């Protein structure tokens, strides 16, 4: 029987946290997610950059112009505190929340990986919930590419943390959760995104090799992404392969559903696991 160190690593994307029709945070989504977070859960959240952008526009009446990377830095630095404020507001007051801002080097360096792992594993024992985001505020794209290139010369396998789907999967590899939950704006993986009846309810296999083969089959049906910079459903299925090998069950679901309903199979989703 597989032993798990953490019950759940979850992730929500930027698009899911924003009410596009009102150009504002979707407080209902954040409140719904936060209500079910508890010690033993690790939550990876996107949204800082977009929330910072919306907040800046509200305060000034216009968007920033100039270098794209600099703008991303400025927006994410502004949005990070707003994002955490909202999680703190809605998470059960009995629990502590702790912000962890990570970058690719935290996963590519053995000592940093171990230090991060130990910090995350202390949280459940201390009644705390880690809230994790990639540290966009200090991440320069050009520097990141050069660092990744240098790492590739020394290592065959390099973590890039292109987006928070990869970040969540890498966190899952660190802490070995029972579940890896990726929340998005759709109900899961579809063989035809325009046909709601084509939702793939389960991708499974008798062993790791068979499951990976079946995951790769369904990757052929995935195309497109929800926003610029996102990698889409195909990448989600790619990133979950490593946690799956460790015995974690992955679920891709819509952020509009309650976390317990998703985990209990009462909400539509795609569940990926070894039978």
CATH of the domain at 157: 3.40.1160.10
Residue 91: half-sphere exposure toward Cβ, Cα within 13 Å: 22
Residue 161 domain-assigned? yes
Asked, for residue 80, whether it belongs to a domain, the answer is: yes
pLDDT band at residue 36 under the 50/70/90 scheme: very high
> Which has the higher per-residue pLDDT, 25 or 160?
25
The whole-chain average pLDDT of the chain stands at 89
Q: Return the H-helix or E-strand segment holding 18.
A: strand 18-19
Answer whether residue 1 is part of any domain.
no
Write down the pLDDT at residue 263.
97
Q: pTM for the whole thing? A: 0.89
Q: Distance between alpha carbon 54 and the CA centroid of its chain, in Å? A: 21
* pLDDT for the residue 230: 45
Cβ burial, residue 33 (10 Å; 0-12/13-18/19+):
buried
Residue 6: how many CB atoms within 10 A of its CB?
A: 24
Q: Which residues form the domain of 232?
A: 6-274
* Residue 204 counted as domain residue: yes
Q: Would 259 be classed as within a structural domain?
A: yes
pLDDT at 166 exceeding the cut of 50: yes
Total tally of structural domains belonging to the chain? 1
Backbone angles phi, psi at 54, to 5 degrees: -65, -40
- Please tell me what DSSP assigns to residue 273: E
Task: Flag the least confident range among 68-82, 86-100, 135-149.
Answer: 135-149
């Amino acid at each position: 029987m597989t032993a798990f160190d953490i019950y759940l690593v979850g992730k929500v994307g930027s698009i899911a946290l924003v009410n596009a029709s009102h150009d504002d945070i979707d407080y209902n989504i954040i409140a719904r997610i936060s209500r079910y977070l508890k010690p033993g859960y690790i939550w990876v959240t996107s949204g800082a950059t977009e929330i910072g952008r919306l907040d800046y526009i509200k305060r000034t009446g216009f968007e920033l112009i100039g270098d794209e990377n600099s703008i991303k830095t400025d927006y994410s630095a502004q949005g990070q505190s707003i994002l955490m404020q909202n999680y703190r507001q809605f998470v059960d007051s009995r629990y502590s929340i702790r912000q962890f801002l990570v970058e690719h080097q935290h996963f590519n360096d053995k000592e940093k990986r171990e230090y991060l792992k130990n910090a995350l594993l202390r949280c459940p024992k201390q009644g705390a919930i880690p809230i994790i985001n990639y540290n966009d505020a200090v991440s320069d794209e050009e520097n990141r590419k050069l660092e990744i290139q240098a790492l590739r010369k020394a290592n065959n396998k390099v973590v890039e943390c292109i987006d928070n789907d990869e970040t969540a999967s890498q966190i899952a590899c660190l802490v070995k959760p029972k579940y890896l939950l990726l929340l998005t704006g759709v109900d899961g993986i579809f063989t035809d995104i325009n046909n709601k009846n084509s939702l793939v309810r389960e991708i499974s296999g008798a062993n790791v090799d068979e499951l990976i083969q079946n995951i790769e089959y369904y990757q052929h049906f995935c195309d497109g992404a929800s926003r610029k910079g996102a990698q889409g459903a195909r990448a989600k299925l790619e990133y979950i392969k490593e946690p799956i090998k460790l015995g974690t069950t992955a679920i891709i679901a819509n952020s509009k559903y309650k976390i317990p309903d998703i985990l209990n199979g009462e909400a539509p989703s795609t569940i990926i696991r070894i039978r």
